[in-house]
Amino acid sequence: MPRNRDSGAVAQADMDAVNQPSPAQHQPAGPAATPRTVSGRRIHFIGIGGSGMSGLAMMAKAMGARVTGEDMEASELTASLQVAGIRVSVGEPGCLPTDCELVVASAAIPEGHPSRRAAHAVHLDVRSYAEFLGDLQRERTGISIAGTHGKSSTASILGHVLTSAGLDPSVIIGATCAQIGGGSRTGAAIVPTGPLAGAPGFFVAEACEYTNSFHRHAPRFGLINNIEADHLDFFADLDAVIDSFAGFARRLPGACDGGRLLIASAGAHRERVAAGTTARVSTFGLDDAADYRVGWEGSGRTTTVHDGSSEVLRWTPSIPGQHNRLNAAAAGILGLWAGAERTSIEHALSTFAGVDRRMQRLGSFRTSDGGEATVVDDYGHHPTECRLTLLALREHYQPRRLLCVFQPHQHSRTRFLLEDFARAFRCADRTLLPDIYFVRDSEAERQLVSARDLVDRIRALGGSAAYTAPFGRATATLMDELRDGDLLVTMGAGPVYKVALALLARDASVADR
């Protein structure tokens, strides 16, 4: 099963953290920088093996740059870069090319890194991941996908939609999607067909709000799926989060220049967020007041989108869950804006097979009572994501019992949202919790909350929960507790999927690993 390196720490750092300012600096970025031509420039990437960085390096090469890079670890991504003709040094920091003109550094690379110091010593421009992504978007027709939840899924669906329609987009996401070739694809320099034929090629990118990194993007079209309190280690409160999304909306060009914003009619604080943008704003959602009204018919399998009284999309999704239908609807609407034909969009939405670690079925486990339990893995790490995923899994699989191994991601997130997490896991019949995944927080923050605190809160609300650290203990508990007809989901942005893999590895009868 393909994995991003460090599953949420290093590979996701490029999606999560850019030029981390202090919380007092939560101001939107200024106007877009002057476009920089990439072609012909010698560019060196520090941390090139991350999912986002490798994609940017490939795009830069396709746009005519001379690209080199370095990374501490060899991986499938560094190997694929080398096959593509990009020289990558692995292990100790390499020497910067003598004719290097620009350095791009992953957000996981500290200021004190030897290659960063070497670049500063000779006064080279050092760009962050998101800054360079914005540079590339200025040479393309950018589409940025934002929201507290659903960014990777929606960007993946849109990538599949545009590819299926023959529009040959470039795509960079913080996950792995087989239908777009992994975590990135490099598409055409020019839109090949449709109403925008001849315009700079499409570039779809996941846009994360953490540290205001999406303020470095330069999209023509933007999506805001939803807004909730998150990343409270950086943002002071929900108001600060909303202000950050408003800053993102202001980065879109005006309506007269083709700028468009698609925003959820509910749950995205649209009046505040859209107040300052000059782009054309459209809403989508389940309510009748939405510009694009989403609904489903019969058993709920057939999903539709209406623009006023006119039906513009109709498809049968293969991925369960109301939230996934809304993600697909947003991608379909953006596909219409990009000039994809309706029939092509509907086919792509019906055939989208999903993203790794998003309700991904891994196999089945032969239980001690002679039956089988289904094993699923999911990346959910915010209370709303967790709750919606559990509800969707229960609706889709209709298991005898739904068991969850949840690894909280970050101590600060767990502490700030403890009650919300406890309520979310009442949707499972039983929840096992290993230790919180320690990333980005200080040691002092680490001492303020533990997985046992969440276990206690779930129990106080009437749920069933147990502390099971280390991972081996969780695996042993599951081997003893799983019964025929059960569904197990491992959940979290850290390496909790290893529990599922260890469980399946102990079952020689698994036929669909």
Q: Extract the tokens encoding 360.
A: 């991904």
Helix (H/G/I), strand (E/B), else coil: 159:
helix
Q: Which residue has the tokens 């003598």?
A: 98
14: confidence class by pLDDT, cuts 50, 70, 90: very low
The domain defined by 140-351 folds into UDP-N-acetylmuramoyl-L-alanine:D-glutamate ligase (3.40.1190)
| Closest by CA position to 496, among listed 419, 433, 424, 414 | 433
CB 382 within 8 A of CB 149: yes
Q: Extract the tokens encoding 241.
A: 């989060």
Q: How far is residue 151's CA from residue 171's CA, in Å, rounded to a whole number?
A: 12
The domain defined by 5-133 folds into Rossmann fold (3.40.50)
HSE at residue 122, side-chain half, CA atoms within 13 A, is 15
Q: Where in the chain is the domain with CATH 3.40.50.720?
A: 5-133
Task: Quote the percentage of the chain above a pLDDT of 90.
Answer: 74
Q: How far is residue 250's CA from residue 369's CA, in Å, rounded to a whole number?
A: 58
CB 439 within 8 A of CB 9: yes
Q: How far is residue 505's CA from residue 420's CA, in Å, rounded to a whole number?
A: 33
Q: How far is residue 478's CA from residue 468's CA, in Å, rounded to a whole number?
A: 10
Q: How does the average pLDDT of the chain come out, rounded?
A: 88
Q: Which H or E run includes 430?
A: strand 430-433
HSE at residue 46, side-chain half, CA atoms within 13 A, is 29
Q: What is the pLDDT of residue 162?
A: 98
| Closest by CA position to 7, among listed 459, 442, 377, 477 | 377
Q: How far from the centroid of its chain's Cα atoms is residue 53's Cα? A: 14
Mean pLDDT calculated for residue range 4-31? 37
259-298 residues labelled b (16+ CB within 10 A) or e (exposed): bbbbbbbebbbbeebbeebebbbbbbbbeeebbbbbeeee
- What confidence tens digit (pLDDT) does each residue in 66-125 have? 999 999 889 888 999 999 999 999 987 767 888 999 999 998 888 889 999 999 999 999
- What confidence tens digit (pLDDT) does each residue in 242-270 have? 999 999 999 999 999 999 999 999 999 99
Q: What is the pLDDT of residue 24?
A: 33
Q: Extract the tokens encoding 71.
A: 């990374």
CB 261 within 8 A of CB 251: no
Q: How far from the centroid of its chain's Cα atoms is residue 329's Cα? A: 17
Question: Dmax over Cα atoms in the chain, in whole Å?
Answer: 67
Q: Which of 19-28, 53-62, 214-223, 469-478 has the lowest mean pLDDT?
A: 19-28
End-to-end CA distance of the chain: 9
Q: What is the pLDDT of residue 36?
A: 56
359: confidence class by pLDDT, cuts 50, 70, 90: confident
- What confidence tens digit (pLDDT) does each residue in 163-189 have? 999 999 999 988 888 888 887 889 999
Q: Where in the chain is the domain with CATH 3.90.190.20?
A: 360-505
Residue 92 neighbours by CB distance under 10 Å: 8
CATH architecture, domain defined by 360-505: Alpha-Beta Complex (3.90)
- What confidence tens digit (pLDDT) does each residue in 326-356 have? 999 999 999 999 999 999 999 999 999 888 8
21: confidence class by pLDDT, cuts 50, 70, 90: very low
Q: Is a pLDDT exceeding 60 seen at residue 7?
A: no
Strands 360-366 and 372-378: antiparallel
- What confidence tens digit (pLDDT) does each residue in 191-204 have? 999 999 999 999 99
Find the Cα–Cα–Cα–Cα dihedral 89, 95, 100, 103, rounded to 10°: 70
